[in-house]
Amino acid sequence: MNAPLPSSGVPAAPFSVLELAPVVPVVVVEDAADAVPLARALVAGGLPAIEVTLRTPAAADAIRAIAAEVPGAVVGAGTVLTPEQVTDAVAAGARFLVSPGCTDALLTAARAAGVPFLPGVSTASEVMALLERGVREMKFFPARAAGGTAYLKSLAGPLPQARFCPTGGIGPETAPEYLALPNVGCVGGSWMLPEDAVAARDWDRVERLAREAAAL
């Protein structure tokens, strides 16, 4: 069950990314000018946790703008691969970090940064290694390719202490199947951000799709 946000709309640290909303939008920002209206549409639709991937030159500016101008948004950085990106993302205003995998250096840097971190895993051994380091919340990626709900069900028995945000190949049709699992706190996806809607700056449509996702 998702925990309510405080009256400010922004959780105090420490907080769990998995408890903010059932869906974390995975956002690729090509034009930093789109960041604020896009984020406002997502927040208005009930999706406050926004993962801006570090895949474009506009990503850092997008994070900075959302953090400064969108009350209620909990903006994070995704596709974090290096300790340097950890430092830069947090400096830009990222409140949480997400990576497709994990290394010792990345985990050390994320912990030093003092913000929630969802390291990516796709095998039982990777989950066990992170549990040994005290990590309980992880990103399961790429979810569909790595075995989907069947694989996560298999992990729940021997590794019940691990909780996941599955991301990769998830849409509105399959999201409820993931969210029904006891070891899944939320899912990540981008279906509420269709390319044609973003290109047309149709933020009303984005808000409508976000509201549907938030109701899952």
List residues with catalytic annotation.
51, 139
Structure tokens at 148: 């989907």
Please name which of 103, 110, 36 lies closest in space to residue 72, comparing C-alpha atoms.
36
**Residue for token pair 């202490």:** 161
Structure tokens at 6: 């405080």
The residues that bridge with 25 in the sheet, in sequence order, are 189
Residue 117 belongs to what H/E stretch? strand 117-118
Tell me how crowded residue 183 is: count the other CB atoms within 10 A of its CB.
Answer: 19
**With contact defined as beta carbons under 8 Å apart, do 44 and 26 qualify?**
no
Report how far Cα 40 is from the mean position of its chain's Cα atoms: 17
Spatial separation of the C-alpha atoms in residues 165 and 161, rounded to whole Å: 14
Please name which of 105, 61, 62 lies closest in space to residue 80, comparing C-alpha atoms.
105
